[in-house]
Amino acid sequence: MPRKGAAARKRAREGKPPVKPGKQSWVHGTKLGFFTAYKEDFIAAAEIKETGAFYTRIAKLYLKKYGYNTAWGGDLEEGQDTADDVDEDEDVDTLLPEIAVWYHAQYGGNVRTKQVPKTFKQLFDRAELEPSEPTRKRELHYYSTNFYAERIKPRFITRLAAATRAAAERGEKPPAEVALRQQVMKEAWLAETPAFRAEISQTIDKLHAAALETYNAEEYSIALNNAAFYLTPFAEAAQQQFGMNVSILLCSPVPDRGGRIEVRSVHAGFSNGLVPRIWSDFDRGGFDAAQRSFVNFAHHCFTEEECRARALQAIPSASVSNSDVDVDAHGTPAHSPNPIPAAITASNTPTPTATATPHTPILTPTPTPMPNPTLPSSKASGTRVTGWTTCSRCGIRIWKMLGTQAQRWCMEYMEKLGTMTLEMLNLANERAEAQRRAERASNEAAAAAAARARDERDKAAAVATADAHGEAAPEGAGDEGDKAAAAATMRAHGEAAPEGAGDERDKAAAAATAGNEVGARGEAALEGAAAVEHTRPKPKPAWRGVQSGGVMALERPEASGEENEGQGNGEGGWKDYDKSGWPQELINAFRAFERGKTWGGAEWVSCVADFVALEQASGYPVKGDVLAPQGEKNLRPEEIPTFMQRRRKWEKGVTLTSGIGPASAQGSFADRWWAWWMRAQPAARVKANGKLGPADAIPMEEWVKFSKMAGKNGLLLYMGGLLWWGEAAAAATDSKMLLGDWRVAVLDMACALRVAVAAKDNGLDLNAEAENEAVAEPTTRTKRKKPEGVEDEEDKENEWPKYVNGPIGK
């Protein structure tokens, strides 16, 4: 028996390298030399954490040298240097993990981790929900998405049938449809003409450029909104380190304000006294003056094109017109700041705000609304606008604002700041607050008058709805306008108009149309409902698209004359909600709902407002107490689970998998949405003929369960379905008919939401919970286990109601 190590000594005498014990690695021979040659490249890529591109390049070089037919543990034959069966477009994803494991095992210890300093973007622009940068679509993916039905599907069906028959004849399994479809897709793409493929590539480039433009503005907006969380620690640290007051002022075009130049600020350091205050609260007048100077300077730093590029959406200004903006000698519009209050010019005292309690420094917006003049373009035109002058009143040099009627900001005011007493500050503060209170009172009075006018219109709509349902009209409803509304409602149902409602009805309708554009829009909606009467979905409201004036009728925005057909943009009715307590899911969804400004009309505005009211009444929960009905796929649009699986990307539209409508078309999105909507309704609302009755015609106690369907998995999903339905209908060729069908669903959901909010406000949901707790059976220490397969009545009551052509009941 040879001694231990004899083979190793023999290989050493013959000049051969030692053999490592164990299984031979798949990298040996020429492969070892191939991978070793790129050692330094791997270390350099690993240090900057960019190994992905390195692995892809090595994998392609490996295939180019060794091809596909070389065994995994084999090597090239002697004298063979390059494979001849290589496709440059081959997918190398399966090879990447093996290459990564080998390189990390061999040279992972040689990687020197470098501490790369963080950039300003990494420090201040890392938000939890920061939108991902849009990527350019691949030509093959875009081709299959948009031309599958007409150019790929017929070829695939023929090929699949032939391959299935051939496999059956050979006694083999049929081919995988996914792999075969990919193969057919590539063949169809390569068979297209070069001009067609070039056109596809140009279209993708345009779409990607547009997506990048939108993304850049959105990314900048999110970074600006989160700036306070990162700048506040810096300001506080500098204040503690140097013992000095610190104020950080940011002035640039604000995306949320349509690219309008405004100031955002962070403050650290409080004044002495019983009530410490930061600079913006201590001296509001001086702070406003500094902001105006900063904004005026920024107007000469940003061009109009730069402001538009940063704008998320245009916000027109009704307070300032182009005629109010002064123009200098070069023809450049000049910024006209707000006039200085009389208290400042008279007594040279600042105008601080009322006494405020100390608070954490926050990113404060501009305290007073600034005008929105035409932005100067001196930077673009190459002109230089400067000029100092002497104040005629005090003899001190001041900066001259451009324009003959622009206000002058006197530097004397800034010099007086250090000599003012507390009594002088409080006096100026009281004057400024009195002026603000007067303005607020005037605005509230105007809003109350508008609300009273809207209430009168809602009462008239309630009378019309009651007559349409065959109920007794309220007292005092005998005027000609109500008769006209009732007659219009009955015509929408296909019923005979009441006697004597001819000429008088037309006169009243004409008067209502001339005096109230909202009434004109409602009349057009009734006519549209009558026009599509024969195309109604099976689960449809009995009121046929009539606006319900029941519980908590919401404020309706005024419309222009072009919106009389119910297809107005409705932008005037959108409110500026306080989203500080909103969950992020609701914020993202509301941004998506705002896409309906151009085509949704007042009906969509009202529905969104009713939905926000229900979320507010529920306390803005992330998840509600009751989920939206799920069930089988045929009882819920398949777009809903697909949207949830794809991380709820509200900023992107959802493509419908079937026809839009009409709702009577079986399998259309409208038909599937109505079937799903019926499953969420109270059982008392579903009539014997399978139709939905008026939402406000059943007791509010029936809406308790519906009112708990808040949160991201509740009624928000129904709102998303309405949004995608409306977007597809607005883009269709026959959008007028499809949008009329869509508005019926919007009106029905808005009415149901209003009743649910009323149930919340009346505390019916809390009463129901108290009753359930009062009748709960006492628990015992031991409980008998029931046999398997046996269900008691309690389990059946806790189950979600089963549906057959609509809800059976609770």
What pLDDT, on a 0 to 100 scale, did the predictor assign at position 114? 54
Centre a 10 Å sphere on the Cβ of residue 536 and count the other Cβ atoms it contains.
20
The amino acid that residue 633 corresponds to is: K
Per-residue confidence (pLDDT) for residue 334, from 0 to 100? 36
Please state, in angstroms and rounded to a whole number, the distance separating the CA atoms of residues 722 and 669: 10
Nearest CA-CA partner of 402 in 339, 335, 338: 335
| Residue 108 Cα distances to 51, 91, 94, 105, 330, angstroms | 12, 26, 21, 6, 65
Q: Pick from 588, 676, 679: which is nearest to 639 by CA?
A: 676
CB-based contacts of 591: which residues, under 8 Å, 6+ apart? Answer: 650, 651
Q: Rounded to an integer, what distance in angstroms lies between the CA atom of residue 429 and that of residue 423? A: 10
- DSSP class of residue 659 equals -
Q: Which residue has the tokens 């038909």?
A: 671
Identity at 352, one-letter amino acid code: P
The pair of structure tokens assigned to 417 is 């700041």
Q: Are 567 and 736 in contact (CB under 8 A)?
A: yes
Q: At what angle do helices 139-147 and 194-225 cross, to 10 degrees?
A: 100
Overall size of the chain counted in residues? 810
Q: Which pLDDT value is given to residue 798? A: 38
User: Three-state DSSP class for 377?
Assistant: coil
Return the closest-CA partner of residue 34 out of 68, 56, 64, 71: 64
* Residue 748 CB neighbours (<10 A): 22
Report pLDDT for 189: 92
Which position has the token pair 């240090």?
Answer: 47
Distance CA 54, CA 45 (A): 7
pLDDT of 389 reads 47
Location of structure tokens 């799920």 = 630
How far is the C-alpha of 125 from the C-alpha of 224, rounded, in Å? Answer: 8
Q: Which helix (H) or strand (E) holds 252?
A: strand 246-254
Provide block-wise average pLDDT over 10 residues at a time, the chain (810 residues): 67 76 78 88 86 88 80 72 58 85 85 54 48 80 90 90 90 90 91 91 88 68 72 85 90 82 89 84 88 90 83 47 35 35 34 36 42 35 38 43 36 46 68 78 83 79 61 49 46 46 45 42 41 39 37 34 39 73 92 90 92 91 81 70 87 84 81 89 86 84 89 91 91 85 92 90 64 44 47 42 36
**Residues contacting residue 13 through CB under 8 Å, at least 6 positions apart:** none
Q: The tokens 């500080």 sit on which residue?
A: 580
DSSP 330-346: TS-B---PPPPPHHHHH
**Minimal CA–CA distance to 730: which of 745, 717, 720, 741?**
741
Helix (H, G, I), strand (E, B) or coil at 224: helix
Q: What was the pLDDT predicted at 438? A: 83
Burial class of residue 227, CB neighbours in 10 A (0-12, 13-18, 19+)? middle
**Helix, strand, coil percent content, the chain, rounded in steps of 5:** 55, 5, 40
Q: What is the largest CA-CA distance in the chain?
A: 125
Cα(60)–Cα(52) distance, integer angstroms: 13
CA distance 400 to 393: 14
Residue closest to 228 by CA, chosen among 244, 249, 255, 254: 249
Task: Tell me the CA end-to-end span of the chain in Å, nearest whole number.
Answer: 88
Beta-strand pair 246-254/260-268? antiparallel
Helices (H), 549-663: 584-593, 601-617, 639-645
Q: 1 by DSSP, 3-state: which? A: coil
